[in-house]
Amino acid sequence: GDPVDAAPGPDAATAIDAATAIDAAASDLGPVDCRTDVDCPGQSSCTRTAPGGVCNGCGGDQDCPTGTSCNTNFGACVRDCGSDADCSDGKRCITQTGVCAIRTCSTASPCPDPYVCSSPSGGLCQRPACDGQGGCPSPMTCSAGVCVEP
């Protein structure tokens, strides 16, 4: 990239903070919890359409990637947060509970780029779909029909 991007600044600080979660790759789009089922330990599996991925089907923290814990109410691995900056760009921080949740969206309230809304009338932000030929917004890459973060 442009050498200017390598200069210390807010982007560099964000990457350093995200790097504290060992298994989560640091990207400009925030922490990534999973790209495939292999990224989800134990009995959980990756919901690949979710921004940053979500490991679902956990019975306890042992079924969740580093940096996340099992919310047994939903059976999903969630990331603790103090603000939206701690979550993937397609998620927001529910400050009352201190966990990241997938952003809701609609035509009037679109998802942050490069995420797309599951329904124009109201839905959840998700990773864009792709075909095997690519077509993903940068810096994402196509993986089995879904654009995933680096």
> Does residue 51 have a cis peptide bond before it, meaning omega lies within 30 degrees of 0?
no
Residue-wise pLDDT tens digits, 78-108:
999 999 999 999 999 999 999 999 999 999 9
Instruction: Output 81 or 10, whichever has higher pLDDT.
Output: 81
Whether the per-residue pLDDT at 21 is higher than 90: the answer is: no
Domain ranges of the chain: 3-104
| pLDDT value, residue 96 | 93
**What percent of the chain stands above pLDDT 90?**
69
Separation CA 105–CA 92 (nearest Å): 12
Q: Nearest 5 degrees, angle CA 16-CA 22-CA 23?
A: 120
Give the contacts of 89 (CB within 8 A, at least 6 positions apart). 29, 30, 51, 52, 112, 115
The predicted pLDDT at position 120 comes to: 84
Number of Cβ atoms within 10 Å of the Cβ of 142: 17
How far apart are the C-alpha atoms of 116 and 109, rounded to whole Å?
Answer: 11
Whether the predicted model's global pTM rises above the 0.95 cut? no
Pairing outcome for strands 141-143 and 146-148: antiparallel
DSSP 129: B
